[in-house]
Amino acid sequence: MSFDLHTYDLQHDEYEHLAARFQLNSDDEILMPNGLPRKQGKQGKPAKGGKPNKKGKPDIAATLADAQPKLEDAFHTTYRPARYEEVFLKDSLQPFVTQALIDDVLALVKGGKEANVYLCQAAPHLDVALIAAKVYRPRQFRNLRNDVTYREGRELVNSLGITIKNQDNREMRAIHKRTAFGAELTHTSWLMHEHITLDRLYKLGAAVPKPLAVGGNAILMSYVGDRSRPAPVLHGVALAPREAEPLCDEVLRNIELMLAHGMIHGDLSAYNILYWEGKITLIDFPQVTMSESNHNAFRILQRDVRRVCEYFAMQGVDRDADAIARRLWARYVRTTPGHTVH
């Protein structure tokens, strides 16, 4: 699950959020902070498994446990997830099954600090056979300790991709107080930034996966590879001399394209670039950095360029990473390094 139920006190709006997230029917009783079932709105018995705790507040963990069978019975997968991942995997991908976008989860492609990537069977009516699903891990299992470095200067967005304004008091109050609802809003914004970035870059002609759909905890995108083998990351590939230089230029073209539109990847290296049939694909964009509103932007850009050039240097391609970073910055960014426009 992606809720830290033991750390935060859930307020009224969070119960509505959890009910929608876990697809509880309107007939399902959800206890409110006053110990009353949400459905009744007056004195009544607690919902099954939802007994108030010692402070008189409901045991929401027990209430959600009652909803778990609904997720487990929703659809079966060829891939057999570990026990800890089964609930969040099915919870995250069930909406895409309901929307007739995927039929099955075939394999785990990649496990990461923030998210896992799964190979999915596309629904028959789609023009692709295979789809990649990036599913974010529950917050307690993620490693995003330095995400504030990248989030500086980025707007918070909701699940519809709409900016959360400072005057949106309920949302901003929850975020500032670090309630469970606020943490979920922050998580949603992190995920939506990746989807929005992917969509924007794909339309600009960048070498990125095509985004297909987004949900509360996952992104569907085009899959790179075949049924038996996913595309390897560039780090594990020894390039032929004739292809190393043009591929280096292609990666640098993508870095320049992003910067020309105010974006920096933020974690680019040979580990976040796929290689398949002579082409590269850049992946992993949740930490995308805004070039003119983040004090760390130049340092982040410089690090991205250095890491890319270090890999290609091992492939026999000589590039001056620092000179490239300075040239790109001078051409596309209106501020000096360490400063922001606003």
Reported as a single tens digit per residue, the pLDDT across 113-129 is: 788 999 999 999 999 99
Cα–Cα distance for residue pair 127/318, rounded to 1 Å:
41
Chain mean position to CA 316? 34
**pLDDT tens-digit series, residues 235-287:** 999 999 899 999 999 999 999 999 999 999 999 999 999 999 999 999 999 88
| Higher-confidence position of 32 and 47 | 47
Does 73 score more than 70 pLDDT?
no
Does 30 score more than 50 pLDDT?
no
Chain mean position to CA 153? 18
Mean pLDDT of all residues in the chain?
Answer: 77
Give residue 239's pLDDT.
95
Residue 234's pLDDT band, with cuts at 50, 70 and 90, is very high
- Cβ neighbours, 10 Å, residue 104: 16
Cα angle value 119/105/187 (rounded, 5°): 75
Give residue 219's pLDDT.
94
Give residue 47's pLDDT.
45
Pick the closest to residue 193 from 264, 130, 244 (CA basis). 264
Q: Find all residues with CB under 8 Å of 338, minimum gap 6, and list them.
A: 295, 298
Structure-token match 């778990």, residue found: 68
Backbone angles phi, psi at 105, to 5 degrees: -105, 115
> Which residues in the chain belong to E strands, given as ranges?
102-111, 115-122, 130-136, 211-214, 218-222, 263-264, 273-276, 279-282, 289-290
Give residue 3's pLDDT.
32
Q: How far is CA 28 from CA 41, 67, 75, 100, in A?
A: 13, 9, 21, 26
Percent of the chain with pLDDT over 70: 62
| Higher-confidence position of 168 and 14 | 168
**pLDDT tens-digit series, residues 189-213:** 667 778 889 999 999 999 999 999 9
**pLDDT tens-digit series, residues 310-341:** 999 999 999 999 999 999 999 999 888 765 66
Residue 140 per-residue DSSP state: G
Give residue 245's pLDDT.
97
Residue 14's pLDDT band, with cuts at 50, 70 and 90, is very low
Q: At what angle do helices 169-177 and 12-21 cross, to 10 degrees?
A: 90
Against a cut of 0.75, is the pTM above it?
no
Give residue 237's pLDDT.
95
